[in-house]
A and B are shown apart, each in its own frame.
Chain A
Amino acid sequence: MKGTNMRSRRIYGAIVMMCVLALTAFAGGKGELQKYFSNAAAKVKATDDPSEKRAILTNSFQTMSKALDMVQQSPSISKEDGVRIDLVKATLQEKQDELAGMNGYVRVPDAQLNAFSHYVVQDMEQADQMITISLVTLLLVIILIVLIV
């Protein structure tokens, strides 16, 4: 009986948490997703250690990619959103490649990591795939990012 109560509480807690996250995400809309990269850029700027800067950026790309993967597997996502998510993932991969100097990219120098983090913020704000992804899909991505982090 006690175990059943605990499980109910956990389920109830999870539902409440999801509702809070959904409401927060809905209030911020697509801005929440942009804030994610902006926060990463702020962290990059706050540290002087280049390897730490790289780790912050790499982690932010990977977390976002993971969230996009999970959302893409959801049956509720439209085909168009699925295609757009693929493009966003490709854009993120290019940025990871440039950061690490892979796949034909010249590695971003240590002295330019702050500027690179701002570039990421601005490029993602401008990316038309990002702008045209439906709000529902973006909300799922935001919620998953919060849960993954």
Chain B
Amino acid sequence: MRAPRSRTAVRGPYAKLVVSMCSAVLTAMLSSCSADLPVQRESQQADGHVLTGRYSIVCVIHGDGDYVYHDNDGSEYAADEKALAAVQQVAQRNPRADVFVFHQRPRSHVLFLFPLRDGDFYYYRDGKLVTELSYWRDQEQSRFDAEVELYRRFREDNLGEMMNVFLYCGHEIPEAGGVGYDASYPDRSFTVHDLAGRLEDFTRDSTRFDLVVLSTCFGGTPHTIGTLGPFARYIIASPDNLHLSYFDLHSLERLDVSVPGGDVLALAKQFAQHAFDRLTGDVQTAVSVAVYDVERTRDFVRSVRGMYDHALTTVSGETQASITTMEHCDCADIPAYVLPAINEGVDVFYRPARFGRLKHKQSHSGWECWRERAPRGAGSQITGGAGK
């Protein structure tokens, strides 16, 4: 079969041109398969003297899944692309920051055969793009090996003197199971424990992140905060659903002006308030943004760990049964969770959905739990408030 096709090509009027173009394309594609040559588009060097950054932002954007959403005019957006644009703007508007952006994209191929790199990395220093390159994400376990390696290659040594922020944009990070989180790697799992391990890798010299922002659904659970807590001083997360337009990132621009004294809690509250205002203006579903002071939430997390883990075991048990029997809810709706420490260390910005069963729910404790699915039917629109 090969010979006739080859002869036909050679006999064609533009045979040499076609052959040389194919060779060039194949060479380019094959060289892109090489694992030891990750740099596709190498750097634009920031000109002039590089100032020592006082802020460091590491941002991971998960784009390997279903991330399409529509605005009120019906326009369609890819959430990961929008998040990338937003964080690049943050990077450009921080004259005293190192910003590391990792965009995890779906796996794709040229001509169904030749794989393309499925991660993009951007490194900004003092508002200027220093390096932009494509890389291979982990092909087996999701260990962020490539991301951690790139981070270590470019980061400055004086992390301890900087305000360190970690930002994750993506779908709800599973607390157990986690298989299928990456659409391109359906057998691979990713859980909040995996993310905690990666935070440990990013902060290997025992420097905790000052602020971790989880721009995901259901990030504000006792388990998630407890698992990520050892690697963060403050965490911003949404205990309920979070619209795919994500948290607004404008509060992270010009950190040198907005938090000159390095007041992380003030920054966190300002960020949460701004994100909340923006979401409530655009979204009809519930909006919840919470700031967790990790040290102060420790007692509550420890107190409810047994109960929560028990519920989580049910959720992660037999898949079918858990889908039908368990659902998310405000922890304050479960009497056993309503402990004196439930409000300790949590600042909550909450507005219920404009419609639906919970439209009259006036407050949220800031903690999301699991419970048996409530029966639907008559009188199901909740009229009372709960929690903080």
Contacts of A35 in B (CB 8 A): 70, 76
Q: Which of A17-25, A61-69, A118-126, A139-147 contacts B (4 or more CB under 8 A)?
A: A118-126
Instruction: Kindly report which residue of chain B lies nearest to residue A127, judged by CB atoms.
Output: B241
Q: Does B66 contact A (CB under 8 A)?
A: yes
Contact B70 A34 (CB under 8 A): yes
With A42-B74, A119-B284 as contacts: A83 and B324 at CB distance below 8 Å: yes
Chain A 40-58, CB-CB to B under 8 Å as 1, else 0, gives 0110000000000000000
Contacts of A131 in B (CB 8 A): 65-66, 171
Instruction: Kindly report which residue of chain A lies nearest to residue B321, judged by CB atoms.
Output: A83
Min distance, Cβ A23 to any Cβ of chain B, angstroms: 14
With A80-B319, A115-B354, A126-B243 as contacts: A104 and B70 at CB distance below 8 Å: no
Q: Give me 24 A-to-B residue pairs in the complex whose CB atoms sit less than 8 angstroms apart, sorted by A's number.
A: A29-B66, A31-B76, A34-B68, A35-B76, A38-B70, A42-B74, A80-B323, A83-B323, A94-B357, A104-B377, A104-B380, A105-B381, A108-B355, A115-B355, A116-B284, A118-B72, A119-B354, A122-B243, A123-B284, A125-B70, A125-B244, A126-B285, A129-B323, A131-B65
Contacts of A132 in B (CB 8 A): 180
Q: Does A79 contact B (CB under 8 A)?
A: yes
Q: 9 extra interchain contacts, Cβ-Cβ under 8 A, other than A29-B66, A105-B381, A126-B285?
A: A31-B66, A34-B69, A41-B74, A42-B74, A79-B320, A80-B323, A115-B355, A119-B285, A123-B356
Instruction: Kindly report which residue of chain B lies nearest to residue A94, judged by CB atoms.
Output: B376
Contacts of B70 in A (CB 8 A): 34-35, 38, 41, 121, 125
**B200-222 interface with A by 8 A CB criterion:** 217
Number of A residues near B (Cβ < 8 Å) is 37
Chain B 267-290, CB-CB to A under 8 Å as 1, else 0, gives 000000000000000011100000
Min distance, Cβ B365 to any Cβ of chain A, angstroms: 20
* Complex: A17 Cα to B319 Cα, angstroms: 36
Instruction: Kindly report which residue of chain B lies nearest to residue A41, judged by CB atoms.
Output: B74
Instruction: Kindly report which residue of chain B lies nearest to residue A105, judged by CB atoms.
Output: B381
Contacts of A31 in B (CB 8 A): 66, 68, 76
Contacts of B378 in A (CB 8 A): 103-104
* Complex: A119 Cα to B285 Cα, angstroms: 6
Min distance, Cβ A132 to any Cβ of chain B, angstroms: 8
Contact A125 B376 (CB under 8 A): no
* Complex: A126 Cα to B355 Cα, angstroms: 14
Contact A104 B381 (CB under 8 A): yes
Size category of the B interface is: 20 to 34
Q: Which of A80, A108, A112 has a CB less than 8 Å from the CB of B320?
A: A80
Min distance, Cβ A109 to any Cβ of chain B, angstroms: 11
Contact A39 B74 (CB under 8 A): yes
Q: Does A87 contact B (CB under 8 A)?
A: yes
Contacts of B171 in A (CB 8 A): 131
Contact B355 A116 (CB under 8 A): yes
* Complex: A25 Cα to B242 Cα, angstroms: 26
Contact B72 A126 (CB under 8 A): no
Contact B284 A83 (CB under 8 A): no
Q: Does B353 contact A (CB under 8 A)?
A: yes
Q: Does A15 contact B (CB under 8 A)?
A: no
Contacts of A106 in B (CB 8 A): 381
Min distance, Cβ B287 to any Cβ of chain A, angstroms: 11
Contacts of A126 in B (CB 8 A): 217, 241-244, 285
With A84-B323, A94-B356, A119-B355 as contacts: A38 and B76 at CB distance below 8 Å: yes
Chain B 338-376, CB-CB to A under 8 Å as 1, else 0, gives 000000000000000111110000000000000000001
Contacts of A118 in B (CB 8 A): 72, 284
* Complex: A21 Cα to B258 Cα, angstroms: 52
Contact B66 A38 (CB under 8 A): no
Contact B68 A122 (CB under 8 A): no
Instruction: Kindly report which residue of chain B lies nearest to residue A135, judged by CB atoms.
Output: B183
* Complex: A112 Cα to B354 Cα, angstroms: 10
Contacts of A90 in B (CB 8 A): 376
Min distance, Cβ A110 to any Cβ of chain B, angstroms: 14
* Complex: A125 Cα to B324 Cα, angstroms: 19
Contacts of A108 in B (CB 8 A): 355
Contact A38 B353 (CB under 8 A): no
Contacts of B356 in A (CB 8 A): 94, 98, 119, 123
Q: Does B379 contact A (CB under 8 A)?
A: yes
Contacts of B285 in A (CB 8 A): 119, 122-123, 126
